[in-house]
Structure 1
Amino acid sequence: MMKRIGFYIGIVVVLIIGGSLLIIKGKDAVSHAESRKQGILEAEQTTIFYRDTPGAIVKIDTAIGNFVKQGDVLFKVKLAKGDKVDILAPNDGLISKISVEPGDQLQQGVPVAVLQKKTFYTELYIQESEINRFEINQSIGVHFPYLDSPIRADGVVTSVSAAPQFASLRMTRERGQADLSMFLIRISIDSSEDLLPGMTAEVKLDELTD
């Protein structure tokens, strides 16, 4: 009888100790997750518009996937009055979309191509209690943790704004309901041959100084 009681007591002790360890590890995991903010790496893009008088595309001097320099000729256009003009690349970057073909008629303001710039960015949602740790032009390290060889890149905070889509989220407090305020920050990152749009970008709050 005493052996059986001792056996049950042993089981209870093991369960208590195991549960305590799980709680501690769970808290550690939560704390670790809360100290990391993740977003998706995006490439800044600009749409190239036709700015001249009506005309027609007579030649396309680039292709999707081409890298171009600012000032490179992308399209040649013959105006209705007979003159010819060039559409130039406004920035360095990669041609990600071409919206016209030879012979297409153009009016002022028509989009002709999309240029992917050499600057990347990521956007992160930050809680109100943490937003004072970020400011415009702040230098910040950005990690890419899921690569075979994790990379740390230098970034700069370029904007901080309220995230109104979170206004409908509410959390219960002792006295009624209160809106859960969130903010959206954008971090600009120089492009690198090791980085591609769509990668997971991460900022570690414990690396920031208050």
Structure 2
Amino acid sequence: MKIKAGIYIGMAIALIVGGSLLTVKGKDAVSQAESRKQGILEAEQTTIIYKENPALIVKVGVAVGDFIKEGDLLFKVQSAEEGEKDVLSPDDGLINRIVVKQGDQVKQGAAMAMLQKTNYYADLYIQESEIQKLELNQKIDVHFPYLDHPIQVSGVVTSISVAPQFASLRMTREKGQADLSMFSVRISIDSNADLLPGMTAEVKLNELTD
């Protein structure tokens, strides 16, 4: 019995010591979960604005869902002052909305179409205690864990700002604890054929160094 008791005590001590070491190193399950920050992949969008004299749209050269390149023809317009002119795409991207149609009159400043650009980004919310791991223009790996074949792409920190509407700990009179600040961090992400807006993007802070 004494031998068995000694074995059990030894196992318990080993488990406690091992668990403590994992916690100290930040490798336990809780620490790993806390270090994983997730956000939703978004695509930058731009509105195509008509910038010339009032004109008549004589041709619509694209349809919703078309992928276009910078400089591709979007519309042909005709005005009394300048005759027929082309309206070209300012960026690469996907046409996800067309506001005007052939035969419409457009004025300077009128919206013509909405372009979903190939530039992606994700906004993450980081605690004050961890924000020192990130800085502007820092390169960072971004994971997409829920794809059939999870992928990793490169990203860049493009903005860091206080997110006052978020707090991980609210002030309580009983404990006298103040809110812990959260920061909104925007990561600009390289385009990839496997990525679509709405996917979950993940950054692992434990992969970074202070």
Normalised by the size of structure 1, how large is the TM-score?
0.82
1:151 maps to what in 2? 151
CA distance in 1, matches of 2:32, 2:194: 26
Question: How do 1:67-146 residues align onto structure 2 when only pairs under 5 Å count?
Answer: 67-81=67-81, 83-146=83-146
Q: What are the Cα deviations for residues 114-151 of structure 1, in whole angstroms up to 9, with x where unaligned?
A: 11111111110011111111111101000000111110
- Please tell me whether the aligned partners of residues 74 and 88 of structure 2 are also in contact (alpha carbons under 8 angstroms): yes
Question: How do 1:45-56 residues align onto structure 2 when only pairs under 5 Å count?
Answer: 45-56=45-56
What residue identity is the alignment partner of 1:58? Answer: V
Q: What are the Cα deviations for residues 143-201 of structure 1, in whole angstroms up to 9, with x where unaligned?
A: 00011111011111111111122269724487634233111111111111111111100
Secondary structure in 2 aligned to 1:34? helix
For residues 56 and 169 of structure 1, do their structure 2 counterparts lie closer, same or farther at Cα, with a shift above 3 Å needed? Answer: farther
Q: What are the Cα deviations for residues 78-120 of structure 1, in whole angstroms up to 9, with x where unaligned?
A: 1144612211100111111111111111111111111111111
Secondary structure in 2 aligned to 1:32? helix
For residues 135 and 109 of structure 1, do their structure 2 counterparts lie closer, same or farther at Cα, with a shift above 3 Å needed? Answer: same
Secondary structure in 2 aligned to 1:39? strand
CA distance in 2, matches of 1:199, 1:83: 45
Q: What are the Cα deviations for residues 52-85 of structure 1, in whole angstroms up to 9, with x where unaligned?
A: 1111211100111111111111001111446122
CA distance in 2, matches of 1:71, 1:201: 31
For residues 43 and 71 of structure 1, do their structure 2 counterparts lie closer, same or farther at Cα, with a shift above 3 Å needed? Answer: same
Question: How do 1:1-210 residues align onto structure 2 when only pairs under 5 Å count?
Answer: 28-81=28-81, 83-166=83-166, 170-172=170-172, 176-210=176-210
Percent identity between matched residues is: 66
What residue identity is the alignment partner of 1:41? Answer: L
Secondary structure in 1 aligned to 2:185? strand
Structure 1, unmatched stretches of 5+, are: 1-16
Equivalent residue pairs, number? 189
Normalised by the size of structure 2, how large is the TM-score?
0.82
Structure 2, unmatched stretches of 5+, are: 1-11
CA distance in 2, matches of 1:173, 1:84: 71
Once the two structures are overlaid, the 10-residue window that deviates more, 78-87 or 30-39, is 78-87
Runs of 4+ in 1 over 4 A off after TM superposition: none
For residues 87 and 169 of structure 1, do their structure 2 counterparts lie closer, same or farther at Cα, with a shift above 3 Å needed? Answer: farther
CA distance in 1, matches of 2:169, 2:115: 37
